């Protein structure tokens, strides 16, 4: 790869990484988490913003906690509160949760809590180089299972399974397929009577839930307020000021100073990519124009002085390395 192309690729990679981090930090802002919990987690559906905010414990962990924690993992803590955000096994390497935090259950006297994982996913049908394509909902089920198993020895010991905290894995899908745009789907455990009419207390088995929030607009799906909110918040077409204005006017949402900073970083990246694309387009156009002019000079020299293409290019001082390129175009 030429030095300029490598430099551009590295620059875009650096900006992309910073933008990805800014996106996660934006989603981890408490005022954003409040809207997400209100919009898709049943336990908070009838709560006010103030009540939901009061339930979120501490600062969410962003890109810190392992998905595959072993018993020997140095990140392991005595309390699940303040989780590390990634799980690690000897054979798999390290995979980090994007965001993880604890939230108390509203309107209860005890300290019962939910453990919530939030993922911002750019690829709707990811492909693992070694194992091929997989589905996000299946990965979400795995994340839930890991969040439950990680509670042993922390939230419960021995056979105290009743102390297992319910877990949520919420996936914000940035670029879903066209038919999935605007969809909000929930996947959880449910009781089915195969024989008889006995019923278990729902709280004894309702321990995990995966939610897919698919961004984008879809004429076949009535847009939910949460999807509309996230479409605006995470748009790569709006400036920071446009986002702030629309969020306030359409959703009554006031961004904090911290969130404003994250939105600014995200918008700077979008502008950087657009500017680089424009620069590359102008450079390509100029290069194509120069090549066309050079070919015209070669043809003119051949006709007027009756020399070969090689001699004409030699007379014009064209590098031997470039002559084959021009000669191929002369033939056409």
Write the pLDDT tens digit of every residue in 231-244: 999 988 888 889 99
253 belongs to a structural domain: no
pLDDT band at 278 (very low <50, low <70, confident <90, very high): very low
Q: Say whether pLDDT at 197 is over 60.
A: yes
Buried b (16+ CB within 10 A) or exposed e, 159-187: eeeeebbbbbbbbbbbebeeebbbbeeeb
Q: Residue 270 falls within a domain, yes or no? A: no
Give me the residues paired with residue 242 across strands: none
Q: Could you give the CA distance from residue 36 to residue 168 in angstroms, rounded to a whole number?
A: 12
DSSP state of 280: H
Number of domains in the chain: 2
Q: Do 308 and 214 share a structural domain?
A: no
Q: For the chain, what is the radius of gyration of the CA atoms?
A: 28
pTM above 0.85, yes or no: no
Is the residue at 251 inside a domain?
no
Q: Are residues 214 and 325 in the same domain?
A: no
pLDDT score of 174 more than 70: yes
At residue 252, the pLDDT reads 93
Query: In Å, how far from its chain's centre is CA 29?
Result: 15
Q: Is residue 271 part of a domain?
A: no
Whether residue 316 sits in one domain with residue 209: no
**Same domain? 227 vs 293:** no
Query: Per the domain annotation, does 313 fall within a domain?
Result: yes
Query: For position 80, what pLDDT does the model report?
Result: 38
Q: Is there a single domain that holds both residue 76 and residue 173? A: yes
Pairing of strands 56-62, 113-121: unpaired
| Per-residue model confidence (pLDDT) at position 91 | 35
Residue 26 has pLDDT above 80, yes or no: yes
Strand-by-strand arrangement of the 208-214 sheet? 56-62, 99-104, 113-121, 166-173, 208-214, 184-188
Q: Give yes or no: residues 92 and 225 share one domain.
A: yes
Does a structural domain hold residue 1? no
pLDDT of residue 93: 52
- Do 214 and 315 share a domain, yes or no? no
Q: Average pLDDT over the chain, rounded to whole?
A: 81
Given the DSSP bridges, would you call strands 208-214 and 93-96 parallel, antiparallel or unpaired?
unpaired
Are 306 and 186 within one domain? no
Tokens at residue 74, please? Answer: 């140095």
Tell me, yes or no, whether 209 and 319 share the same domain: no
Tell me the pLDDT band of 20, cut-offs 50, 70 and 90: confident
164 has a pLDDT exceeding 70: yes
Are 95 and 224 members of one domain?
A: yes
Say how many C-beta atoms besides its own lie within 10 A of residue 294's C-beta. 17
**Is the residue at 249 inside a domain?**
no
Q: Is residue 154 part of a domain?
A: yes
Range of the domain at 295: 289-331
Reduced to 3 states, what is the DSSP secondary structure of residue 325?
Answer: helix
Please tell me the distance from the alpha carbon of residue 216 to that of residue 170, in angstroms, as a whole number.
17
Both 85 and 161 in a single domain? yes
Contacts of 16 (CB under 8 A, 6+ apart): 269
pLDDT higher for 11 or 143?
A: 143
Do residues 29 and 155 share a domain? yes
Cβ atoms of 171 and 210 closer than 8 Å: yes
């Amino acid at each position: 790869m030429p030095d300029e192309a490598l430099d551009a690729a590295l620059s875009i990679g650096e900006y992309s990484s910073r933008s990805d981090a800014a996106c996660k930090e934006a989603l981890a802002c408490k005022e954003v988490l409040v809207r997400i919990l209100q919009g898709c987690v049943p336990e908070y559906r009838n709560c006010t913003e103030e009540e939901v905010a009061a339930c979120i414990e501490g600062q969410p962990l962003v890109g810190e906690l392992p998905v595959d924690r072993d018993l020997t993992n140095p990140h392991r803590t005595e309390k699940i509160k303040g989780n590390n955000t990634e799980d690690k096994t000897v054979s798999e390497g390290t995979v980090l949760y994007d965001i993880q935090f604890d939230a108390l259950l509203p309107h209860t006297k005890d300290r019962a809590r939910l453990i919530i994982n939030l993922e911002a996913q750019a690829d709707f049908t990811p492909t693992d180089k070694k194992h091929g394509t997989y589905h996000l909902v299946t990965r979400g089920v795995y994340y839930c299972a890991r969040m439950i198993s990680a509670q042993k020895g922390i939230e419960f010991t021995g056979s105290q399974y009743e102390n297992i905290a319910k877990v949520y894995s919420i996936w914000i899908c940035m670029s879903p397929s066209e038919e999935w745009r605007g969809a909000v789907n929930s996947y959880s455990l449910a009781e089915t009577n195969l024989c008889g009419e006995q019923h278990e207390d729902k709280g004894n088995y309702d321990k995990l839930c995966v939610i897919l929030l698919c961004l984008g607009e879809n004429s076949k799906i009535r847009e939910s307020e949460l999807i509309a909110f996230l479409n605006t918040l995470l748009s790569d077409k709006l400036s920071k000021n446009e986002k702030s204005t629309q969020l306030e006017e359409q959703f009554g949402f006031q961004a904090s100073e911290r969130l404003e900073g994250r939105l600014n970083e995200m918008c700077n990246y979008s502008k950087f990519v657009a500017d680089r694309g424009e620069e590359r387009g102008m450079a390509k156009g100029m290069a194509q124009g120069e090549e066309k002019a050079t070919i015209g000079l070669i043809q003119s020299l051949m006709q007027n002085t009756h020399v070969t293409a090689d001699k004409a290019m030699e007379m014009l001082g064209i590098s031997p390395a470039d002559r084959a390129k021009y000669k191929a175009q002369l033939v056409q």
